[in-house]
Amino acid sequence: MRRLLFEMAYQGARYHGYQVQKNARSVAETVQDAVEAVFGRREGITGCSRTDAGVHAAQYFFHMDTESRIPTDAAVRALNVNLPRDIAILSCREVPPDFHARYSVVWKEYTYKIWNGPVRSPFLAGMALMHPYPLDAGLMDRCAREFTGIHDFRGFCSTGSKAKPTHLDGGESTVRTVFSAAVRREGEMILFTVRGDGFLYNMVRIMAGTLLLTGVGKLAPGDLTDIIASGDRARAGVTAPPEGLYLTRVSYIPYGQQKEGDPNG
């Protein structure tokens, strides 16, 4: 038995999230269709994370156990032949049997994209939030840095959601460590990028929605620190739409120890 680790990327616009759904098309179901076509059986796949409907991934991993001896490079080519154009397998390698695509993850990076031009871009429909009114990206960046550190982010979690175990305590907790959070402007595109050891349900989208308030001057520096400390969901911003959210990095190496081009993320 071999355990294979696949790296892939996908546009989430046509899918009801990564996880298999009973009555809607998902990324996992689509990948399993390709796996069945290539490997001759519907092998189970285990993803590194859940992504919601409409959310994208520039880097995503899943592992699969198989008796097949197909070479890893051939598996990449064959799966891509059988996948739609909005999903691509980027790489494949064998990993030890105790490696787990989800539970071996040490940290993740998400990027939220905001098209901040006066006219919407038809090329970014479903791929970024369209916000035609001026945003102060410099102020947003200054405020975003208040997310960094170890905090209880219960105020940035969708109401009624159940917290997942963290690397900090192994139990249900809303405490997370954010290693970095920053906002930058590239022309008319504003990019909010955050790295952390884990994220609550809709946490990044709520962060993005709150930063929009700072961008239009409704929140000032220091306000995010107070909102985080309060734990009050009502004080944070709206949950930003899913189309702007991208899972951009998944790492199996402790933060700050990874090297450029490292195959373990």
Structure token pair of residue 198: 């884990």
Q: How many CB atoms lie within 10 A of CB 156?
A: 29
Q: How many CA atoms lie within 13 A of 197 on its CB side?
A: 21
Cα 159 to Cα 256: distance, rounded to the nearest angstrom: 33
The answer to whether 141 is a known catalytic residue is no
Give the dihedral sign, CA 20/35/127/106: positive
| Residue whose token pair is 């680790």 | 5
Which of these is catalytic: 52, 86, 136, 152?
Answer: 52
Q: Which residues are annotated as catalytic?
A: 52
